[in-house]
Amino acid sequence: MSMKLASLTLLIALFSVAALAQSTGFDGVTAQANLVTEFDVNGLKVIYKRRPNSATVSSGLFIRGGARNITAKNAGIEALMLATAVEAGKNIPRQTVRRELAGRGSSNNSGASNDYSVIGIATTKPDFPRVFEIFSDLVLNPAFAEDDIKRNKDIRLASLREAGSVPEAALETMSGRVIYSGHPYANEVNGTPASIAAITAADLRAYHKQMMETSRLLFVIVGDLDAGELTKQLTATFGKLPKGTYKDAAYPAIDFSKGTLDVTQRALPTNYVKGVFAAPSIGNPDYYAMRVAMSILQTLVYQKVRGELQLSYAPDADMDSFAANTANISVSTTDPNRAVTAMVDQIKFLQERQLNSAVIDEIASFFLTRHYIGQETSTAQVAELAKYELIGGGWRNSFQFLNGVRSVKPDDIRMVANKYMKNIRYVYIGDPTVFNRESFVTD
């Protein structure tokens, strides 16, 4: 075994917790899937996972479409609409919402992503009937009070303005602007200062009415509930919404036909680099091999750039989970040429060398351990079921994750490294006089 492989194996072996995923076997994939029931309420698809003896209940109402629902002009309106909706309903004022939820140890929340958005609740089983009553009123009859709108707009505007002053956040914004140019993801789901400032209460009400169609929505819930009673609750609330005629459409692929470099000059103590390349989505058969490959790449990059060369405190390699997906390498360093060259060398290592099966098995086990620890809560399970249902080919595929990762072979790692880890598109913030362009764009 080579020195690099030996070091990698030793590093992974330190994470003995990885044995948990292998020892449990997780052959209960069918058993887990059998706990899930799906049904229709006037066009609203409902996914209910029974979690026997669970004291908590979590649910989310998901809006399909994500960035496709908005434009550059009204960017951020869906996120702002949901954030304001959870404040108060026409029948339940804000003070009552906060008092009742806090008194029950319950919470509501909202969020938006490139592919979909969500408004959700987390509560205890005894409190679910009342919390669901509050939740349904907030979603179906939001007050959209002027003071709530102003407060949420101010919060978002402050966050957007602050992001421009933080190098890491500025790098993410710049990367998105470059990579997603001409793609639906170019529509900023969290908005821009100009678009958020222009949104009015009338805009929010009109947008809310447009989104509240059952064909656009997905309801996911995890807990130990009576399915018949849950159906009645949904029929009496969200089941009264119009069906609409919404149809999902596939996102186009992001352009990675060639490598690129975009530079922003800024006087900083260090330089920030992110290199983005294509990645398969969770519904693609290559997804499992790419996830394992990126975990190995992350270890190699950290070991080389931080451990051996000491060029950066936190070099990284990561992979997104979008319908039109990407992966990336990133680093903050005073020597961008050496750092980027070292990271690309680790990619070449995966492209050219045949890894030992034992190395893949160990890192897959560690990766799976982290994944399943992350699935311990009902809220996390709601998010996972929804993600696979909306962009991963159906909720049943969420239970194939273990088998998919464990089936990865050395040839699969080399295949995805060559297929996806190329034509890297870099964004750079810092001193442009200290880097060599050839170190970045070699494709």
205 and 219 together in one domain:
yes
Q: Is residue 302 part of a domain?
A: yes
224 and 338 together in one domain:
no
Strand bridging mode 425-430 / 260-265: parallel
267 and 338 together in one domain:
yes
DSSP conformation letters of 341-395: HHHHHHHHHHHHS---HHHHHHHHHHHHHHHHHTT-SHHHHHHHHHHHHHHSS-G
The mean per-residue pLDDT over the stretch 171-199 comes to 95
Which pLDDT value is given to residue 373?
83
The mean pLDDT value of the chain amounts to 90
pLDDT in tens, 253-288: 999 999 999 999 999 999 999 999 999 999 999 999
Q: Is residue 147 part of a domain?
A: yes
402 and 340 together in one domain:
yes
Residue 28 — very low, low, confident or very high, per pLDDT cuts 50/70/90?
Answer: low
The pLDDT > 90 percentage for the chain reads 79
Which pLDDT value is given to residue 16?
34
315 and 172 together in one domain:
no
173 and 320 together in one domain:
no
Q: Is residue 248 part of a domain?
A: no
Do residues 210 and 87 lie in contact, with contact meaning Cβ atoms separated by under 8 Å? no
Which pLDDT value is given to residue 20?
37
- Give the sheet arrangement for strand 107-112, strand by strand: 36-41, 44-50, 217-223, 56-64, 116-124, 107-112
List strand residue ranges (DSSP E) for 294-348, in order: 316-319, 326-333
Length of the chain: 443
166 and 78 together in one domain:
yes
203 and 276 together in one domain:
no
431 and 286 together in one domain:
yes
pLDDT in tens, 350-386: 999 988 888 888 887 887 787 778 888 999 999 999 9
169 and 294 together in one domain:
no
3-state secondary structure of 61: strand
Which pLDDT value is given to residue 18?
38
Which amino acid appears at position 389 of this protein? E
302 and 409 together in one domain:
yes
Q: Is residue 245 part of a domain?
A: no
Do residues 439 and 275 lie in contact, with contact meaning Cβ atoms separated by under 8 Å? no
Which pLDDT value is given to residue 259?
94
This prediction has a pTM of 0.90
Do residues 421 and 347 lie in contact, with contact meaning Cβ atoms separated by under 8 Å? yes
* Residue ranges making up the domain that contains 282: 3-29+253-440
Alpha helices in 14-88 (DSSP H): 19-24, 29-34, 77-85
18 and 107 together in one domain:
no
Number of structural domains (the chain) is: 2
